[in-house]
C-alpha cells in the first residue's frame, strides 16, 4: 500500500511528499485522491462564498475635502493602516522613504500621495482613489487636493461620492477653502457630510474648542441645506477616534470616523424611479442579434417592459436583457447591460430609452450651475462641445445669472467666469438634450464642456431646469406634444394648447389699472393671472412664480413701489427675454400709451402653432 510519508516532527521543512508502498496500493490511492478532491471542493466552495459575500457588501463612495494642510492624506493613510488595509510591501516602502514630515516612524500621507511632486511638496495635487473594505462595507475613497488652484480636482473627485469627509484644522478653524468645498459638496448633491476636526492633539483635546468648531460648521451646513451632518474630533497623526475610540476625548460619546462610515445610510444612486438608459453603443455580433449597450442611469427594466426612444419618439418593448453573465430577468440602476428590443427601431449612441409615462425634459435651452475648470475664462456665446451621457453637441453659454461668493454664499452679478469660480448660467445647444434636474438624476442631469480646439475639459455643469424653446428652434412644439402624450404635461405642450408663450410683466401705479390690463389680455385669448406682490411672502415667491411660469401663464406682478433687485433678478432668471418691466414711472397711468404698450408686447407672445379655435380672423 502507498501512504504519504509524514514530515519529521523535529523538522517542519516542507518538501515533496514521498510515497512508500505498503499492501494494497490501489485502494489507498483511490481514498487519498477522493480526500484531496473533497478538500479542493471545500476550498472552492469557501472561496465562492467569500467572493459572493464581498460582492454583496454595500459600497460607499466618499471623498475627502478641506483646506490645504488639514491632514486629509494623513487621515486616509492612518485609516487604511489601522483598518488593516495596507499591504506589507506598501508599508515597507513608506518606511524606507527618504521623505518623512510626520516626525513618526511612518508618514501615513505617503500611502496616498503617490506623485513625486506631491511627496516633495507635501501636498495633494491630483485625485487619488483608494479601495478598502471592512466586515460591514466596501469603500472607495477619493483623496482630493486642498489648494484653491486645484478646486476643479476636488469637484471631479466629489462628483460620484455619497458622503464627504470635510477636515477642519482644530488650530485654524473653518477656513475659506473649507467653505468652498462644503459648498461644492452641497452643489453636487452630497447629502451626508462628516466634519472631522483634525489635529486635536495640537490643542490638547479641548472640548470647548471642538464644540465651537462644531457649531460654526453646523451653521454653515444649515445654510447650504446639508441635512445629514456628523462631527468627530480626531487626530490623524495619533489615530484618535479614527478606527478605535480614544481615551484622550472622554467627553465625546459619538461614533468614531470608521463607525460613521460603516453605519451612515447610503442614499440611492438616484432619487427617481423612472427608467433612464443612455445608449452607449450598438452591439451586433451577427445578423440575428442587435442589442443596445449602456449603463442604467435610473430605474429598473425587465423583459416585456414598454420603453420609448428619444429623440425618435418610437415605442417598443424589451425582448431580453443580456450581460456578461448571460441573460437576465431584470436589471437595476448603475448596472451595465445590453437590451434587445422587440422591434427594429432607429437607435444609436447618444439616444435615450426611457419610461413612456415619466419622460425627461427635451430641450436645447436650460439653466445650470457651472464650475469653471480652465485657466482661460468662460466666453459668453462662444461655441463649446457639451458631453452629456453619450451625446455630444455644440453648446454655448448665452448668459450668466450670478456668480457665487463661496465665502459669504452671496450672489453677485457678473459677465465673466474665471477658473474655480461657480455661477448660474443659461445654456443653448445645437441639438436638444434629454435631461432631468441634477438633484433628481446625477447622470442625465450633468454635463461637461470641452474646448473644441484643445479638447480640454473646461467646465462641469449641473442642470437645474429647462427653459422654453426659442421661436424657430429645432425642437418643434408639435413633436414634443407627440412624444409626451402619456407623461407629465410639459410647458411646451401648454404653449401649443394656449397659443402663446408665458411672460412676466412687472407693473406699478394704480392697481385698478393693472386689473383692467388683466381683463383686456383675457379678452384677447391670453391665459393670465394678476399677482399682488404684497400678498406673497418673500420666502414663497420663487416657488410660486416658478409654478405659474411652468403653467405657461402671462404673469402680471403688481407692486405700488419699485420692485426690489432680488425680485427683478428672479423674474429675469425665470423669463429671460420674456420678462418686461413696466413698473417704472407708472407707465400704465400715462393716458393710454403704457396700457397699449403692454398689449402690443403681449401680441408678440403668440405662436404660429396656435390652435385653430383660438386664432383670430
Per the listing, cell 427594466 goes with 301
| Grid cell in block for residue 415 | 459677465
The pairs formed by 186-189 with CB atoms below 8 angstroms and a separation of 24 or more are: 186/224, 186/225, 186/226, 187/369, 187/371, 187/422, 187/462, 188/155, 188/158, 188/159, 188/161, 188/462, 189/438, 189/439, 189/442, 189/462
Residue ranges of the domains in the chain?
A: 2-54, 58-263, 276-350, 361-478, 491-614
* Predicted pLDDT at 610: 41
What are the phi and psi torsion angles at 559 (to 5°)? Answer: -150, 130
CATH number given to 361-478: 2.40.30.10
Collapse the DSSP code of 6 into the 3-class scheme (helix H, G, I; strand E, B; otherwise coil) and give the result: coil
Superfamily of structural domain 276-350: Translation factors (2.40.30.10)
* Predicted pLDDT at 232: 95
- Residues 6+ positions from 431 with CB-CB distance below 8 Å: 364, 391, 393, 394, 474
CA 396 from chain center: how many Å?
A: 22
Helix (H) / strand (E) containing 163: strand 163-169
Handedness of CA 20, 22, 28, 29 (dihedral sign): positive
- The 10 Å CB-count burial string (b at 16+, else e) for 168-201 is bbbeeebbebbbbbbbbbbbbbbbbbbbbbbbbb
- Is 491-614 the same fold as 58-263? yes
| The Cα angle at residue 310 between residues 297 and 500, in degrees rounded to 5 | 115
Beta strands in 190-295 (DSSP E): 192-198, 228-233, 276-286, 289-295
CATH number given to 491-614: 3.40.50
DSSP state string for 27-56: HHHHHHHHHHHHHHHHHHHHHHHHHHHHHH
- pTM score: 0.66
CA 51 from chain center: how many Å?
A: 30
The Cβ-side half-sphere exposure at 248, using a 13 Å CA radius, reads 18
* CATH class of the 58-263 domain in this structure: alpha beta
CA 601 from chain center: how many Å?
A: 40
* Predicted pLDDT at 521: 87
Per the listing, cell 460654526 goes with 216
* Predicted pLDDT at 101: 56
Low-confidence ranges of the chain (pLDDT < 50): 1-23, 115-125, 269-270, 474-486, 586, 591, 609-617
| Grid cell in block for residue 169 | 484644522
* Predicted pLDDT at 116: 40
* Predicted pLDDT at 166: 92
- CA-wise closest residue to 420 among 380, 373, 369, 368: 373
Amino acid at each position: 500500500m502507498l501512504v504519504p510519508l509524514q514530515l519529521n516532527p523535529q523538522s517542519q521543512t516542507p518538501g515533496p511528499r514521498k510515497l512508500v508502498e505498503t499492501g494494497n496500493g490501489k485502494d489507498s490511492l483511490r481514498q487519498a485522491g477522493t480526500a484531496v478532491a473533497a478538500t479542493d471542493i471545500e476550498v472552492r466552495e469557501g472561496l465562492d462564498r467569500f467572493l459572493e459575500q464581498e460582492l454583496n457588501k454595500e459600497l460607499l463612495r466618499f471623498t475627502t475635502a478641506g483646506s490645504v494642510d488639514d491632514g486629509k492624506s494623513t487621515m486616509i493613510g492612518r485609516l487604511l493602516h489601522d483598518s488593516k488595509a495596507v499591504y506589507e510591501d506598501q508599508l515597507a516602502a513608506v518606511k524606507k522613504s527618504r521623505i518623512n514630515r510626520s516626525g513618526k516612524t511612518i508618514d501615513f500621507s505617503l500611502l496616498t500621495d503617490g506623485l513625486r511632486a506631491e511627496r516633495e511638496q507635501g501636498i495633494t495635487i491630483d485625485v487619488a482613489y483608494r479601495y478598502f473594505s471592512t466586515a460591514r462595507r466596501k469603500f472607495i475613497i477619493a483623496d482630493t487636493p486642498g489648494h484653491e488652484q486645484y478646486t476643479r480636482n476636488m469637484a471631479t473627485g466629489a462628483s460620484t461620492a455619497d458622503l464627504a469627509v470635510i477636515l477642519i484644522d482644530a488650530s485654524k478653524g473653518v477656513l475659506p477653502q473649507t467653505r468652498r468645498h462644503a459648498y461644492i459638496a452641497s452643489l453636487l448633491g452630497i447629502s451626508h457630510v462628516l466634519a472631522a476636526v483634525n489635529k486635536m492633539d495640537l490643542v490638547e483635546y479641548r472640548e470647548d474648542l471642538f464644540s465651537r468648531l462644531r457649531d460654526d460648521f453646523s451653521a454653515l451646513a444649515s445654510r447650504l441645506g446639508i441635512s445629514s451632518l456628523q462631527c468627530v474630533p480626531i487626530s490623524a497623526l495619533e489615530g484618535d477616534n479614527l478606527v478605535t475610540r480614544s481615551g484622550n476625548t472622554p467627553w465625546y460619546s459619538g461614533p468614531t470616523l470608521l463607525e460613521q462610515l460603516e453605519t451612515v445610510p447610503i442614499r440611492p444612486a438616484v432619487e427617481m424611479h423612472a427608467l433612464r438608459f443612455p445608449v452607449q453603443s450598438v452591439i451586433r455580433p451577427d445578423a440575428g442579434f442587435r442589442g443596445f449597450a449602456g449603463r442604467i442611469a435610473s430605474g429598473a427594466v425587465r423583459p416585456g417592459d414598454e420603453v420609448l426612444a428619444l429623440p425618435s419618439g418610437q415605442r417598443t418593448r424589451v425582448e431580453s436583457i443580456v450581460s456578461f453573465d448571460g441573460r437576465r430577468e431584470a436589471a437595476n440602476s448603475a448596472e451595465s447591460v445590453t437590451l434587445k428590443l422587440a422591434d427594429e427601431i432607429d437607435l444609436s449612441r447618444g439616444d435615450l430609452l426611457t419610461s413612456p409615462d415619466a419622460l425627461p425634459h427635451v430641450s436645447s435651452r436650460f439653466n445650470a450651475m457651472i464650475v469653471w475648470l480652465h485657466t482661460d475664462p468662460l466666453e459668453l456665446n462662444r461655441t463649446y462641445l457639451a458631453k452629456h451621457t453619450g451625446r455630444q453637441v455644440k453648446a454655448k453659454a448665452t448668459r450668466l445669472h450670478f456668480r457665487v461668493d463661496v465665502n459669504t454664499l452671496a450672489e453677485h452679478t457678473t459677465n465673466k467666469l474665471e477658473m474655480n469660480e461657480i455661477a448660474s448660467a443659461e445654456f443653448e445647444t445645437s441639438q436638444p438634450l434629454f435631461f432631468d434636474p441634477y438633484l433628481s438624476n446625477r447622470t442625465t442631469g450633468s454635463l461637461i464642456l470641452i474646448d473644441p480646439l484643445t479638447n480640454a475639459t473646461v467646465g462641469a455643469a449641473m442642470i437645474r431646469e429647462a427653459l422654453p424653446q426659442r421661436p424657430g428652434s429645432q425642437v418643434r412644439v408639435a413633436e414634443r406634444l407627440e412624444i409626451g402624450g402619456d407623461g407629465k404635461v410639459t410647458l411646451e405642450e401648454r404653449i401649443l394648447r394656449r397659443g402663446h408663450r408665458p411672460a412676466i410683466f412687472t407693473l406699478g401705479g394704480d392697481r385698478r389699472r393693472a386689473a383692467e390690463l388683466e381683463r383686456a389680455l383675457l379678452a384677447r385669448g391670453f391665459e393670465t393671472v394678476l399677482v399682488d406682490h404684497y400678498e406673497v411672502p418673500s420666502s414663497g415667491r420663487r416657488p410660486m412664480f416658478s409654478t405659474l411660469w411652468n403653467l405657461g401663464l402671462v404673469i402680471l406682478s403688481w407692486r405700488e413701489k419699485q420692485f426690489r433687485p432680488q425680485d427683478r433678478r428672479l423674474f429675469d432668471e425665470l423669463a429671460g427675454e420674456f420678462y418686461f418691466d413696466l413698473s417704472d414711472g407708472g407707465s400704465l397711468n400715462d393716458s393710454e400709451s403704457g396700457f397699449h404698450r403692454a398689449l402690443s408686447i403681449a401680441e408678440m407672445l403668440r405662436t404660429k402653432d396656435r390652435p385653430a379655435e383660438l386664432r383670430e380672423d
